[in-house]
């Protein structure tokens, strides 16, 4: 519902969990998640009408229906450009997560966007608070930034990316055998960027990372992350 207690149809509601689940509200504002087990969940809603939550829900056999109240959300306009020539970068992928106290980035609610021909992307219905955003583009080093979104309803951010080279590697099991079909990414917060092949080998097209400033290229602080449901998460040491 909105502040006047009128139903809000067509808004996306997200439920925390692995995997995260979503539903779209009906004309009367209702939504349903079925087949849940009794545990603690987090609910969040966003859409053109605004945002609601996150709120906690301890689900039990006698839980009452929950009510989310929608209020205006913020808009963030990203401009992604090449550091060397200041030209816009089309097709850059932006992933924003709102981080809450005591919760990891992988548990946070995530929002995604992709830049158009002018290097711009607009995210609507953003919640206020602290979080992170990552920016990736083919041929460029990834960027991971902490941010704080204040009470302004519209914000603008310019992101400069540095050209980068490919990195090649191999994922091994504890005994030294190759680990095939393992998800590999450049940050813990990033989704899978590539998979290791039958020999455990992988290639990430542009993987230079580090501390970015306006004065020069990034200082290398590499850490590759490998994930697989049958194994623990593996990482390289920073700088390897």
Span 33-75, pLDDT tens digits:
988 888 888 888 888 778 887 788 899 988 889 999 988 878 8
**Residue 25 pLDDT > 70:** yes
Burial degree of 23 (CB within 10 A; 0-12, 13-18, 19+): middle
Rounded percentage of the chain residues whose pLDDT exceeds 70: 81
- What is the pLDDT, as a whole number, of residue 114? 96
**Residue 113 pLDDT > 90:** yes
**Residue 78 pLDDT > 90:** yes
Residues 200, 157: Cα–Cα separation, whole Å: 38
Cβ distance 115 to 160 under 8 Å? no
- What is the pLDDT, as a whole number, of residue 230? 78
| 182 phi-psi bin (left φ>0, alpha ψ -120 to 50, beta other) | beta
CB-facing half-sphere around the CA of 133: CA atoms within 13 A? 24
pLDDT one-digit tens code per residue, 217-240: 444 445 678 888 877 777 775 444
Token pair of 125 as six digits: 């219905």
Region 14-42 average pLDDT = 87
Cβ distance 55 to 20 under 8 Å? no
pLDDT one-digit tens code per residue, 147-197: 777 656 678 899 999 887 777 889 988 888 999 999 888 766 667 778 999
**What's the whole-number average pLDDT of the chain?**
80
**Residue 126 pLDDT > 70:** yes
Residues 148, 9: Cα–Cα separation, whole Å: 29
Among residues 53, 46, 56, the alpha carbon closest in space to that of 22 is found at 46
Strands (E), 137-230: 143-149, 154-161, 167-170, 183-185, 194-195, 201-204, 210-211, 219-220, 225-228
The more confidently predicted of residues 139 and 89 is 89
Give the number of other Cβ atoms within 10 Å of residue 97's Cβ: 20
The more confidently predicted of residues 206 and 220 is 206
Is the whole-model pTM more than 0.85? no
């Amino acid at each position: 519902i909105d502040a006047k207690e009128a139903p809000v149809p067509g808004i996306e509601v997200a439920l925390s969990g692995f995997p995260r689940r979503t539903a779209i509200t009906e004309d009367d504002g209702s939504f349903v998640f079925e087949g849940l087990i009794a545990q603690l969940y987090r609910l969040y809603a966003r859409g053109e009408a605004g945002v609601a939550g996150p709120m906690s829900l301890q689900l039990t056999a006698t839980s009452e229906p929950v009510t989310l109240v929608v209020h205006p959300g913020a808009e963030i306009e990203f401009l992604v450009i090449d550091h060397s020539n200041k030209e816009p970068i089309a097709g850059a992928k932006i992933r924003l997560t709102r981080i809450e106290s005591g919760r990891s980035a992988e548990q946070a609610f995530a929002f995604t966007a992709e830049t158009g021909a002018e290097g711009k992307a607009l995210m609507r219905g953003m919640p206020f608070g602290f979080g992170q955003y990552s920016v990736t583009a083919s041929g460029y080093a990834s960027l991971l930034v902490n941010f704080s979104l204040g009470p302004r309803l519209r914000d603008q951010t310019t992101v400069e990316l540095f050209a980068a080279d490919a990195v090649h590697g191999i994922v091994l099991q504890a005994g030294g055998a190759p680990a095939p079909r393992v998800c590999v990414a450049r940050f813990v917060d990033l989704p899978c960027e590539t998979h290791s092949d039958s020999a455990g080998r992988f290639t990430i097209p542009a993987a230079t990372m580090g501390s970015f400033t306006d004065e020069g290229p990034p200082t290398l602080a590499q850490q590759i992350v490998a994930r697989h449901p049958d194994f623990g998460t593996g990482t390289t040491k920073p700088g390897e």
